[in-house]
A and B are shown apart, each in its own frame.
Chain A
Amino acid sequence: MSYTARPRPGRLRVNRGERTLRNTVVVSVLAFYAVFLVYPIIQAFIGSFHLWNPLKGQFHFIGWENYADALTEDLFWTSMTNNLVFTVSVVATRVGLALVIALAISRVKHLKSLFRTVYFLPVISSLIAVAFVWRLIYEPNVGLVNKTLALVGITGKNWLLDPDTALFAVVVMTVWKDLGYAVVLLLAGILNLSPEVFEAAAIDGASRGQVLRRITLPLLNPTVVFVVVTSLISYLQTFAQIFVMTNGGPGTKTYLTTYQIFNEAFVKYNFGSSSALSFLLFLVIMVLTWVQLRFSDAESRA
């Protein structure tokens, strides 16, 4: 009598080749993250308790000194404040504008794809290249902004060196660059809403404003939360545009924490201090993300 092994009910039959492939892929990905993510993070955390300059083999344990130095330094609080102002400004503007644009595109009958493409084009452009172009656009003598203002008799500002405008000039550039991504996500969220809900609302005589406030926005909440949270995490780590456009100036008016981290490591060769700043920033991001998620959970339940 022969016996043929059968797979248990509900269990996929996987042959040996597929199992090998699956295991190889999983192990490879884990190894990649272990080497290029987990190990550097652990090393940086350990390094944050050291006077650390790998370029000259310096690695002396100094306890909490790097953290204490950072927390008692005016520049840290300046950069953190700038960071929060920058992030809130970009996130609020980006999400608000993206919502308006996504709602508008959702109502367009034709050429939706064209609008999506046009708004998404800046997203796929190189951030460094865009930053250089915008630096030129803001140039006080020959830049596009001031030249355009001059046509209508207005004297432009030194946008990137005026303390009142420098940070917000970078905000404008950042929103311009990343708006399309939020538009695409929110548009996808809107188009995925169930049409029956809107039909029922129409039957009940709801106005457009009521449909927007009572149906569209609440149903869109998960997508909005996703965009806000990911934006927060991303913009709290902004670096490239500050490096290219302002170098933290004028003075320290556009100094962000990430720029301070870069300076500590690659200008002052103080990798321990830089690591400590990185973990302080990580804590801030973690707390803000948790607060945001709790807030949106509470709203959903309400």
Chain B
Amino acid sequence: MKFTFVENSWDDYWTKLPLTIQNRKGPALFNFHNSKEDLLLPFMAPYTLDTKALAKDYLGVPSHLKGGKLYYTDYGFMTAAMFYNKKLWKEAGLTDKDFPKTWDQFRAVAKKLTKTDAKGNITQAGYNFNGKYDAMIMGLNYQRGGLLYKADKKSINFDTPTTIASTKFLVDLYNLDKVGSKDFGTDANASFGQEQTAIVYNWGWFKNYLPDNFPKLEWGVFNLPSPYSDKAPFAYDRYNGESTFGVNKLAPADQQAVAQDVVKFFVTNEDVIRKWSMMFGCFPAKNSLRADPIVIGDPLTKELSKIIDRTIWPGVIPGPIETDLKATLQEVLYNGMTVEAAVTKTQKQLERDLKNIDFTSVEDQYTYFKDLPKYAK
């Protein structure tokens, strides 16, 4: 057997792959991301492995079944955490006991980490979320029981009191608490790397971005705070599964057979799953690795292990959702729109952009979905 590997950049890959597959020149086995399910699922062959047995070994398998068949599943769960600068943390007189558990505690910590010059201009942001609204808002909503989709599991549910409250919370962090500024750089990640920002929200991939781009930076991780001091949030944030491979149903039968074997090898090999999960900043979906010493020994996955069961997968997030959400907070912070108007505008744009995309919410498959009435208003 000969394996030929072809590399492409991220954007090129998702254009070239479906076109080559359609023209029967595509690979038998390919890297897959669930945000591209709408494009690629029509060309994928179901796995031939025992899905019931797989469901016992892996979290999240039932949510990926389509008509009883499995075309991909998650090898790892990526979600969000707060990354902080250890040096700035220490300079502010903070210790390991000061990691905030609630957003009120977070605001106090962020204020301590903020520095300004004589004119009141921020020189060090305690917390910087410039460019991150689209990533943060869904998580903040979930914490308060705000689902992304309506009861029909198809319609977007953005223009809600929860979204307005979550957005106002973010605006207040800048305008009232003054822990950062909309004008303090345009890229929170670069600002964090340059040690101008003490805390930044990011997903797990950030743990590899930092040593690649800012190798001297000393950073740590703590979990997202909760809005509540007396109960857990409905979900700390959403997670997205990093997916197993796709098998090309238009490839020759012998190549498909080999691809299916590779999939089986991949999902049954603990070393590979551990390595891949750690490499991409994910918490392994394989149950046998949840208490693995290497996983628990990593600063990111150690934190995530405490809350991973309390993160929700809404289903595939169609591309336009993230794109349309980016503009919302900009409309408020830079263009002077009210939060209500900006959220309503985004809802209309989302409805337009999603009308021809096929997706179904799986929020109701979340383990703690039954607790929703305690949170949703």
Contacts and interface: CB of A to CB of B under 8 A. Distances in A.
Interface of A: 51, 53-57, 69, 73, 75, 139-142, 155, 157-158, 160-163, 247-253, 263, 266-270
A251 B196 contact: no
B323 A267 contact: yes
B252 interface: no
Contacts of B15: 55, 266
Most buried by B among A75, A163, A251: A251
A269 B331 CA distance: 25
25 contacts: A55-B18, A56-B39, A56-B40, A140-B184, A140-B186, A141-B184, A141-B191, A155-B119, A157-B183, A158-B183, A158-B186, A158-B334, A161-B186, A163-B334, A247-B326, A249-B326, A249-B327, A249-B334, A250-B330, A250-B333, A251-B327, A252-B327, A267-B319, A268-B353, A269-B319
B211 interface: no
A158 B182 contact: yes
A78 B320 CA distance: 19
B218 interface: no
10 A-B pairs with the lowest CB-CB distances in the bound complex, closest first: A250-B334, A251-B331, A158-B183, A250-B330, A55-B18, A251-B330, A251-B335, A163-B335, A141-B185, A251-B327
A251 B352 contact: no
A142 B334 CA distance: 20
B335 A269 contact: no
A247 B18 CA distance: 26
B185 A139 contact: yes
B253 interface: no
Given A158-B186, A268-B320, 19 more contacts: A53-B39, A55-B15, A56-B18, A56-B39, A56-B42, A69-B352, A139-B185, A140-B186, A142-B185, A155-B121, A249-B326, A249-B334, A250-B333, A251-B327, A251-B334, A251-B337, A266-B15, A267-B319, A268-B319
Interface in B324-349: 326-327, 330-331, 333-337, 342, 349
A73 B331 CA distance: 18
A142 B184 CA distance: 10
A53 B36 CA distance: 13
Contacts of A270: 353, 356
Which secondary structure dominates chain B's binding surface? helix
Contact of B38 (A54, A56, A69, A161): A56
B49 interface: no
Interface residues of B, number: 36
A166 B233 CA distance: 39
A57 B42 contact: yes
A53 B38 CA distance: 11
B19 interface: yes
A267 to B, nearest CB: 5
B234 to A, nearest CB: 30
B333 to A, nearest CB: 8
A302 B152 CA distance: 67
A149 to B, nearest CB: 13
A267 B356 CA distance: 13
B287 interface: no
A161 B14 CA distance: 30
A55 B39 contact: yes
A73 B182 contact: no
Most buried by B among A140, A141, A142, A263: A141
Contacts of A56: 18, 38-40, 42
B48 interface: no
A93 B337 CA distance: 31
A160 B333 CA distance: 13
A140 B185 contact: yes
Contacts of B323: 263, 267-268
B349 A75 contact: yes
B367 interface: no
A237 B190 CA distance: 31
B22 interface: yes
A158 B11 CA distance: 29
B334 A140 contact: no
